[in-house]
Structures are given as structure tokens and as C-alpha cells.
Chains A and B, each alone.
Chain A
């Protein structure tokens, strides 16, 4: 590996300059050399929209990506806390298990797709299908989300501080959506429900985690009407 690419600032810090080292070298380091190294923090410079930055991390470490990320930043993350100081492409934190990913800018499609756990925070807007098929992840979006967000979302919570596009929560399972702004339309089987004290507490906690200054009472709750849980209400009919 290019020794210039990895400069140690302290024994606990490391820098990867992706203008000099490859994403492959970064991920190889994260998967194999990080454990036991004592390194607690990694700066990734010049990401320049590269794909698959810091995917499959399986270790508690803070990673700062100083610029724009491509597809799947922090994909399948476990334990790491990743911050992107820029925008990201599709599928940021896809299938995340634990830890966190924070995007300071905007996120493209399918942010947090199929995430099982951890927290994804997007300070800007998220595009289409944010939280698609989410399975337990918490997602907090500072801005707006695009159409089909939380499509087939199974578990977890999606907090939207701005507006939501069309077909929000289509074919929802047990995930819950909280929206502060306007909802253009709800998807099949999604319904607006009254906020309870537990909902307010949940939103307050998630907003605190994300560092957003909104009042939980401003949010609406969207959850599944559960009318699609069974194939067809008339399935057992016989004429």
C-alpha cells in the first residue's frame, strides 16, 4: 500500500486519501487491520463520489468522509459511526445493522434500504424510496423525502422533518413514519393515526439523536392499516 496514502496523525487516528489509495485498500484495512490496531478515528479524504466507501465495517470506529460519496456508503455497517461531509448516492447505509451514518448533505435514492438497525441521519433531503424495506433501522431526515419512501417498510422508524412525496408508506408492515411537513399522498394501506405520548417521546428521542431542533408535537404519525396482511379478505369465500 502507498505509504503516502495513509498518514498517522496520532496512534488513534488514521487518514486515507482516496486520491492516492483505492477504496479497496480502505475497505481491506477496515475489515482486516483495524481490529486490534487501537485506531479510533479515520479520515477519508477526496472520496470524489466513489462507490462502496466503508462498506461491511464490523468494528466500532469513527469515520469522517470529507466530501461526496457515491453508492452504498456505509453499506451493511455494524458498530461504526460514519459521517459524510457532503452528499451521497444511492443506498447509503443499505442493510445497516448497528452504529450510525450521518449525511451532512443530501442523499439520493433508497437511503437506508433494508436497514436492520442503527441510525441513519440525513441533514438535507432524501430522494425516492428512502427507507424502502427497512427492517428495524431508525432514519431521521432533516429535509424532505421523495416518492415511495418507506415502501414495504417492515420495522423501525422514519422521521421526516420536511415534506413527503407521493405514496408514502405504501404496503407498510410494522415500521412507523413521523412527518412534520405535508404528505403529498399516502400509499396503499398506509394511514395517518393520532400521536400518543409514546410517539411524542419516540420522536423527541430521535430528534435529539439527530440534533434537530423541532417540536415533537408538530409531527404526524403514519402506520399500516394492516388490511394487506392477508391475501384477500374474501379468500375463503365459496359461491
Chain B
């Protein structure tokens, strides 16, 4: 009988793992998913791809040529005033960091309350979002910005009169040119009633305003809102970053007190991923274009500029201010401060693991962008009566306060190091870029050179 030949010393079969740059695992997964479902991916949060960002800039602090301020002893002011152009009652904030507009519907009423409480304690503002104004947020927020969106869900004159500012939303950084979206599982009875929609439907809101089109109409629309509010409160105009240079000029022409520019890293509760990753320009480029537009119109300091889209840290805030923003808005960062993507949640005095619930959604802490499902494992982006209990408004407010305080301390630390007794004195001259892309977009010199691509000769 022939025995099989034994090859005891043979090496295991080599597994070849040459990954394609064009068809990498992300693309393969995308195609598999598209082929299985015949439907584009809808998800939450913002762009995940690597983009030129504030991380690509660094500060030139004081040294011999200019001196720094004493970090712990010398005062550094953070007071921020928005809406000084036409409004009789501009919005006065203690810090230049605000809470971005996020809807009741995308977030639970408890989260909206937490945002309001934190904003009030911090002396900053919060903003409604595409689902109307809830009692919880109006009561808890000292300064509340009320958005006027294409959908006008729940939009009414009583809330207009109760608002501290009105924000005409034209676009959102995560989806410039796209309307809102709220999938059926989040359209519970209260959300449905506020939006005048049947319960449980997949809600897609309009991408354009129903009663005006174009910049000349916007002049008239803003005038109407001013008339309704008796010229008391500021009117903001929010744009998603695309043709920022032109859009900011048109917003100023239309009579905006404040222009809010949301870059492509800005978050969303539910949007097609093709929109999130492929439409709009990075916040860094958007900010510089917006500032340029204001400067050319001689409107710097007259029309205030708020920048948002991927603001995460005090360093980001400081860089945004140095480039010319008057304030920033933070959306995704606030959710993460509340516990988004955390492995556990805090309820009834104890931490509980949320990992199983992440796994049920087919994701894990650190990777979750499943806001659209309404099954947020940590109880933030949900309308589920059990899940929403995982976020206690008081605990949430404390976390948000800590997060914003940290960012504000970082901001003043950097400002003092640059010799500024007021964070609004940070200037472009304080910055250099680490990459050619960031230097070109922000129009600051590449570190160690005097070269600004597109401005100075190479």
C-alpha cells in the first residue's frame, strides 16, 4: 500500500494580500453593499475621508519679535457679539464657541434640553434645527437661534417672536444642495405632530425654500423676517460650503447680520454618504473664502462670520478665529462629548456597557455613524422611549460644559502665547501651514518659508 508522501517541513501556503489602491476594502465593501441592496448608503455624522484641515496649521507664538502674555495671570477676553449690523438686540456670548443647529427628531428632547442647559451655563447659544422649537430647549436655553429652513416644519410666528436670532438655512456642509432626511423609525408621534407628517414615514424635506429663490428674493425674505421681529433680533444666513466666496457676498447683499458657513466635515443625522464625502469643500478652504468675501466688501467686523464643520478642539477654534471667524459652531463634537461612540452609557448612577447594542447595529464604539437608525446605543440620536433614558440631561449638560470649557481654555492659552489679550485679536499672521494644500487653501505661508501658493512666487 502506497503511503501519501509526507512533507512535514513544507511552509504554509502564502496568502497574497496585495491591496488595490483603487478598489481598496472600503470600495469593495461599498460595491458589495450596493449590489446586495440596490440603495445608496444613508448614514450620520460627517465626512470620514482625510481632508486638509486645521490640523495642518500651527501657531507662531510670541518670542523675541513679539511677546506672549502670562498664561495664568493676564486676562484674555472671549466675549463675542453677533448681529451688530441691523439688529437692535445683538446676540452677546461669553465665549466664541456655540452649539450647532441639530433638530429635535434627529436628537431626543432630553439631548436638546442638555444642550440648552449647557449653553446657558456657558453663556453661549444653541440652535434649533429642522424640526421646530421644543419647549425643553426654549426653556433651558438663554440664547436660542431659531432656524428657518426649506421644510418650515413646525415653523410658527410665536416661536419666531420667542427666538433670540433667526437663522435662514440655505445649506448644510454635510449636504449642500440637499434637503433634510429623517427615516421612519425616528418619526415618532411627537416628531410627526411637530412636523405635520404621518408617523413612521421616511421624511425627506425640500432642498430649496418654498417662497423665495435666488439672492434678490432673499433680500425680501430677510426683510419680511425683520418686519415680523420688528428689527430686534439678528438674522443669520447659513450656507453649506460650495461657492463660498460668491455665496457670502450674496448673503451680505441680502442683508444678513451674521453668515454661518458650514464646511464639508459638518455632520448630519442622516444623509446619503455620496453627499457627505463628495459634495462641498473643506472647512479650511471655506473659511478663507468667506473672510476674503467679507474683506472685499469691507464688512469684516460688521457682518459676523460663524464657521462650522469639523471643529473639535480649542486649537481648531483658535485657528478659525485667527483666520477671521468671529465664532464657531460645534455639532458632532457635542454629540461625542455626550457619549456618542462611547462603549458605555451612564444611567441610574452606574455605567452600563453599550457594546452589544452597537454590535446589533453592525458597528462598534469608535466607528458608529448610525444616527439615521434611531437606535443610538448611548441614547443620543434616538426617539426611542427606552434608549433616550440612557442620556440624563443633567449629566449631559455637565459633560458639554466640561468640553466647551476645555476648548475655551485651550483657545485662551494659545491666544495668550500669541500675545493677545482678546481671542478675537488672533490673526492670520499668527499661523503657518504644514502642507502645501493647507497653505494654498488658508493662504498662510508654508512653515519655514514665505511661500503662499497662489499668492507669492514659488
Q: Which residues of A contact B (CB under 8 A)?
A: 23-24, 27-28, 31-32, 51-52, 55-56, 58, 70-72, 75-76, 78, 90-91, 94-95, 97, 109-110, 113-114, 116, 129, 132-133, 135-136, 151-152, 154-155, 173-174, 229-232, 234-235, 237-239
Majority-rule SS of A interface residues:
loop
Bound together, the chains give a CA A154 to CA B35 distance in angstroms of 34
Query: Are B36 and A234 in contact, CB atoms less than 8 angstroms apart?
Result: no
Given contacts A58-B157, A78-B157, A97-B156, contact A52 B224 (CB under 8 A): yes
Instruction: Count contacts between A and B, CB distance < 8 Å.
Output: 118
Residues of B within 8 A of A238 (CB): 36-37
> In the complex, what distance in Å separates the CA atom of A24 from the CA atom of B220?
13
One of B195, B220, B228 near A56 (C-beta < 8 A): B228
Known: A110-B211, A135-B196, A174-B198. A95 touches B156 (CB 8 A): yes
Q: How far is the CB of A86 from chain B (nearest CB, A)?
A: 18
Besides A91-B211, A97-B157, A230-B184, 9 new A-B residue pairs in contact (Cβ under 8 A), listed by A number: A51-B224, A52-B227, A71-B221, A75-B224, A78-B158, A154-B195, A230-B201, A231-B202, A238-B37
* Distance between A71 CB and nearest chain B CB, rounded to angstroms: 5
Q: For residue B212, which residues in chain A have a CB less than 8 angstroms away from its CB?
A: 71, 90-91, 110
Chain B contributes a number of interface residues (CB within 8 A of A) equal to 36
* B152 / chain A contacts, CB cutoff of 8 Å: 95, 113-114, 133, 135
The residues of A that contact B224 with a CB separation of less than 8 Å are: 51-52, 55, 71-72, 75
Residues in A whose Cβ lies below 8 Å from that of B37: 234-235, 237-238
Query: In the bound complex, do residue B210 and residue A114 qualify as a contact, i.e. CB atoms below 8 Å apart?
Result: yes
Complex CA gap A159/B37 in Å reads 41
Interface 0/1 of B215-238, CB less than 8 Å to A? 001001101100111110000000
Contact between B223 and A52 (Cβ–Cβ < 8 Å)?
yes
In the docked arrangement, what's the CA distance between A114 and B206, Å? 12
Which B residues form the contact surface with A (CB < 8 A)?
A: 35-39, 42, 151-152, 155-158, 160-161, 183-184, 195-198, 201-202, 206, 210-212, 217, 220-221, 223-224, 227-231
Nearest CB of chain B from residue A28's CB, rounded to whole Å: 6
- Kindly state the separation between the CA atoms of A151 and B209 in the bound complex, as whole angstroms: 12
- By the criterion CB–CB under 8 Å, are B156 and A136 in contact? no
Q: Is A232 a contact of B39 with CB atoms below 8 Å?
A: yes
**Whole-angstrom distance between the alpha carbons of A109 and B206 in the complex?**
17
Contact (Cβ within 8 A) A133 B210: yes
Q: Which residue of chain B lies nearest to A53 when distances are taken between CB atoms in the complex? A: B227
